[in-house]
Each structure stands twice: as C-alpha cells, then as structure tokens.
Amino acid sequence: MDVLQLMDEWGPEKVVCVSDRRTGMKGVLVIDNTARGMGKGGTRMSPAVTVEEIARLARVMTWKWAGVDLFFGGAKAGIVFDPSSPDKEAALRAFARKLSNEVPREYVLGLDVGLTERDAAIVQDELSDRGAMMGAPAQLGGLPYDELGVTGYGVAEVADELVELRGKRVAVQGFGAVGAAAAKRFAELGAVVVAVSSVRGALVDPHGLDVARLLKLRGEFGDLAVEEYGPVQQLGAELRVPCDVLVPAALQDVIDADLASELDTTLVIEGANLPTSVAAQEVLARRGITVVPDFIANAGGVVAAAYGMDARYSPFPVNPVTVLEAVSEKLRANAVNVLAEARSRGTTTHVAARALAQERVLAAMKLRGRVA
C-alpha cells in the first residue's frame, strides 16, 4: 500500500518500518499525532500485522488520550511475527534495537495483543532503559497492567455507571487480558456472565457461567480454557446470545451492519479497539442500543499507562489501588459525558466522542502553530 495515502490533517507524523534478516522479523511504528505530548501506545505481535492496521490503531490512541484528557500523543507499533514461536524473544529484541532511535525519546512501547509483561522486561533489558516499555512486572518496578486487569476493570466500571449491574446478563467476546478481567469485575459487581469466547470457541449458559472456575482454567490452559470448561459453540454465538450488556473485547471489525441488526442487547461496551463499523454504529443507534465507544470504554489502560509513564524512572512503585480508583472515576465520568454529548448533538456516541477529542487535539495543534 502507499503509506502516503494514510496521511490526513491529523497525521500520521511518522511511519517507520523495520526488518531483521536473522529472525525474519518485520515491524512498523506509527506516530500519529504528538500535539498533546509524545507518542504512547501499545505494541502488538501477530503474523497478520499490517501497516494500515497499526495506523488505524495509532489514530484511535490519538483520540483515546485526548478523550480522557491526558497529555500524550497517539502512536502504535506492530511486529509481524508469531508470538507462539520459540524465537519470539530474538524477534522482540531485534525490533527494539531497530527502533532505538525512536524509543523511548519519541515513543514508549506498551502491551497489546501477543505480548506479555515478561516481553516488556525483555525490551527494557535490550535497550538498557527502564522507560522503554510500560507494563513490566512489579518485580522490576513496573505497573503490571495485565495482572491488574486495568482495561477490563474499566470496561465493567463503565457499564456499572450506566446500568445497575446486579442480576444483569453480560456477554463477553474474547477471554484474553481484557475480556477475562472484565468478566471478573462484572461478577464482582453482581452481574451474570452468560457467555464468553476465545479463539477456541464460545461458551453460552443463560443461567450464568462460573467465572471463578473459568479464570482458574485460563491460568492453566490459556485459550483452551473454554474447551476445558465445557461444550463449546461456534464463535459468534457469544455475540448473539440475549443479554443486557454486550462486550466485544477481541479484535477489530467484528460487528458489521448485518450483525448489528441481530444483536439482542441494550448496551454495548467496546472493550476492543474498533470492534464496530460505522454502519453498525448507525444501525445500533437507530435500534436504541447504547454504545460506549472503544476509546472511552477501554481507556483504563491509558490511565494506568499515564501513571506508569509518570513513575517509569522513579524508585517508588505505583500503588495499584490508586490506579484502579482513577480508572473508575475517569471512565465513569467520560462515559456519562459522551452519552450526553451524543444526545445534545443528535449523533452517534462515536461521532460525539470523536468530536470532543478532536476539539482538544486541534486546540493543541493551533497553540503549537501546526495549523492556522
């Protein structure tokens, strides 16, 4: 593809592609917009990573940071490599070395699909810089996002702000770091989790799944937890089950207009980035189904990242309780604000949330003299 075609009035400001012949690693860094601060965003590893995908996600980060009114810029990185490969560490180290000009001066890596807290430690070791990647284990002074489940925690907190969750039926697509943490928090808040899924299939039980058992199985078997739990259904069943709250927390582009017309829910909380198409968002709005946009609902990770960035060279660890309290307070308030803006503007919640974020980014661009 022509990278120049990705560029518009917002960005990206820089696209860096790297490769390593010894490991076969290919990778890309997209720094989208730094008007409100240096680039900060997750780093994913998958054999299917593309430049366009990373550019889209970098733009989401621009809106996400502005949406929660924290001062970093949108950026994202991707590594074209199989995270299950025995050569993962070598590829990750090669990726970090190739980006040593940009990391951590212009961009700080974070955890996303395919990377773990140990991977963050590996990057810090390769670059001899504790500030090169966020999400390292607590034993290294990091703030372990996945262990705390900050993103999934925030997703459930948003839902709890909008509906009384006790006794409500919740379906979660995806049982990775976000989906599992969301399911855990939903159960703590009294909701009935009626469906979850992983790449191995979907579990559906209208009477409620045993979330504690599922979490234990996930710790032992990973994605295979759903098969160990009980009979699995085809992927997609978790999206179609009748529920009060639906949480797409897997990958992007999973709900199109056709599927949106079939959903049997009243509230969609976007745990993943870009899970619904624009056409789907319009269908859901017409049907009276409330949608909390991704960069509002799943911003718990960026709130935690802001704390991590603030303390990345400090000898004092961040208090996890402080982070979770901030995630809850910030995301609950933002969700209410966005829904009110959507009603006021007569638009979908995505359009309203993006408009709020764009206003903040544009103001910063004007102040810096980047636009007239």
Share of the chain above pLDDT 90, in %: 91
pLDDT at 121: 96
How many C-alpha atoms does 215 have within 13 Å on its Cβ side?
A: 18
Query: Tell me: the pLDDT tens digits for 253-270?
Result: 899 999 999 999 999 999
Q: Give the residue from 30, 23, 3, 27 showing the smallest Cα distance to 80.
A: 27
Give the residue-averaged pLDDT of 69-75. 96
Mean pLDDT, the chain, whole residue set = 95
User: Does residue 79 sit in helix, strand or coil?
Assistant: strand
Query: Average pLDDT, stretch 65-87?
Result: 96
* % of the chain at pLDDT higher than 70: 100
pLDDT at 170: 98
Residue 198, pLDDT score: 94
Per the CB < 8 A criterion, the answer to whether 196 and 175 are in contact is yes
- Residue 288 pLDDT level (bands cut at 50, 70, 90): very high
Q: Does position 251 have pLDDT exceeding 90, yes or no?
A: no
Catalytic pick among 76, 88, 168, 330: 76
Cβ atoms of residues 32 and 12 within 8 Å: yes
Residue 228 has pLDDT above 90, yes or no: yes
- Main-chain phi, psi angles of 89, to 5 degrees: -60, -40
Q: What span, in angstroms and rounded, lies between the C-alpha atoms of 134 and 143?
A: 7
pLDDT one-digit tens code per residue, 83-133: 999 999 999 999 999 999 999 999 999 998 899 999 999 999 999 999 999
Does residue 1 carry a pLDDT above 90? Answer: no
pLDDT at 372 over 90: no
Instruction: With cut-offs at 50, 70 and 90, classify the pLDDT of residue 273.
Output: confident
Q: Which pLDDT score is estimated for 297?
A: 96
Q: Is 88 a catalytic residue?
A: no
Looking at residue 258, its pLDDT comes to 97
58 CB contacts (<8 Å, ≥6 apart)? Answer: 11, 12, 30, 31, 32, 39, 41, 74, 75, 76
Q: Around Cβ 320, how many Cβ atoms within 10 Å?
A: 16
Instruction: For 150-303, list the strands marked E by DSSP.
Output: 169-173, 192-198, 201-204, 245-248, 267-269, 290-292
Question: Mind listing the pLDDT tens digit for each residue in 315-355?
Answer: 998 999 999 999 999 999 999 999 999 999 999 999 999 99
DSSP per residue over 1-20, as a string?
Answer: --GGGG--SS--SEEEEEEE
Mean pLDDT, to the nearest integer, of 51-62? 95
The residue ranking higher by pLDDT, 228 or 252, is 228
Question: Is the pLDDT reported for residue 286 higher than 80?
Answer: yes
| Tokens read off for 340 | 């009110």
Residue 252: pLDDT band by 50, 70, 90 thresholds? confident
Order of all β-strands in the sheet with 267-269: 201-204, 192-198, 169-173, 245-248, 267-269, 290-292
pTM: 0.89
CB atoms within 10 A of CB 51: 16
